[in-house]
Every structure is written in C-alpha cells, then in structure tokens.
Structure 1
Amino acid sequence: MTASTTLTIRLDPQLKAKLGRLADGTRRSRSFLAAEAVETYVDRELAIIEGIEHGLADVEAGRTVSHDDAMASIRRKIDAVSGGAA
C-alpha cells in the first residue's frame, strides 16, 4: 500500500451527496474518488502552468512566429491536403 496523508476539505452538502451516490454506484470510497478528482485537477492545472512557462521562455528566447506567418503556413498545409480546393 502506498503512503498517504489526510486533507480535510469543506464540501457543499449537495456535492457530498453526489459524491456518495457516485461512490455507491462505482463501489469506490468517497475518499478514493475525491483523491482521484484532486489528482486529475492538479495534474491538469500544473500542465497548463508548465505550458505557459514554456511559452514565456520561448518568447524571451525569440522563438516566436508572427500571426501572419503562422496563418500562411496553416493555409499551405490545408491546400496541400485538400489539393487546393479550400
């Protein structure tokens, strides 16, 4: 079993009831489902922050493309795939 720690949170009673229904329906504990939800949320938010930081580093290093150049590149790719019918 992996090590764990306890975190106490406040939930709206309706959300707690929904979590309970989900736990019953999936045969998982409310604690398991809450931990899974928090992990998914934290991982997603950290990925967003890391993406922003990576983008800011690209801007600082001058690794950017103008909007017009990006759109021209996209149009060329669309034309290549569609045979110029777009």
Structure 2
Amino acid sequence: MSEVITIRVDRKTRTRLEKLAKAMERTKSYVAAEAIRAYVELNEWQIAEIKTALTEADGGDFATEKEVQAVMRKWSRRADKMA
C-alpha cells in the first residue's frame, strides 16, 4: 500500500519530471516514486558497505602489503594488454 508525501522541487525540475512522465506514459507520482525508491536503495547499500568496511578496519582487518602488490600487478598486466 502506498502513502502520500509532499515534496517541494524547483520549477525546472517539475517541468522535467512532467516531460519525462509524459514520455514514459506514466504519472508524475509514479516517476517520482521510482526515483526516490532507486535513490534510497542505492544509498542504503552504500551506507551498509561503508559500515561493514569501518567495522573491518576497526578490527584490524586489512590487506597485507603482499596482497596489495598482487592486486596491483594483476591490474597493471590488464592495463598493459588493453593499451
């Protein structure tokens, strides 16, 4: 079940939203809700990954110098092949 919220956007954004909704044959509400859903999903994922990384770092879970060098060699070889 959906719920109603009210947001304020500038006139230019509203016009762009209207044009996009018309081109998609959707309502402005649908397009705005999809944009908000995608934004929330992306940011939830990023924040969760950052928190996980901070927990690992606080626990001393870092790559060794040898592991970092191995990854650098791998990517350097791939870059050389593409050049």
* TM bin (shorter chain): 0.7 to 0.9
Match of 1:64 among 62, 65, 73: 62
Amino acid in structure 2 at the alignment position of 1:24 = K
User: How has the CA–CA distance of structure 1 residues 44 and 78 changed in structure 2, closer, same or farther, with 3 Å as cutoff?
Assistant: closer
Following superposition, the deviation at residue 61 of structure 1 comes to: 1.9
Distance 1:61 1:75 in 2: 24
Superposition TM-score, scaled by structure 1 size: 0.79
Note the aligned Cα RMSD (angstroms): 2.1
Distance in 2 between the 1:6 and 1:80 partners? Answer: 53
| Poorly superposed stretches of 4+, deviation over 6 Å | 79-82
Q: CA 1:64 to 1:24, structure 2 compared with 1: closer, same or farther past 3 Å?
A: same
* 1:9-32 CA-partner distances (Å, limit 9, x unpaired): 001011101100011111000000
Q: Which has the higher contact order (CA 8 A, sep 6+)?
A: 2
Structure 2 counterpart of 1:39: 37
TM-score, structure 2 normalization: 0.81
Give, in angstroms, the shift of residue 71 of structure 1.
Answer: 3.3
- The number of aligned residues is 79
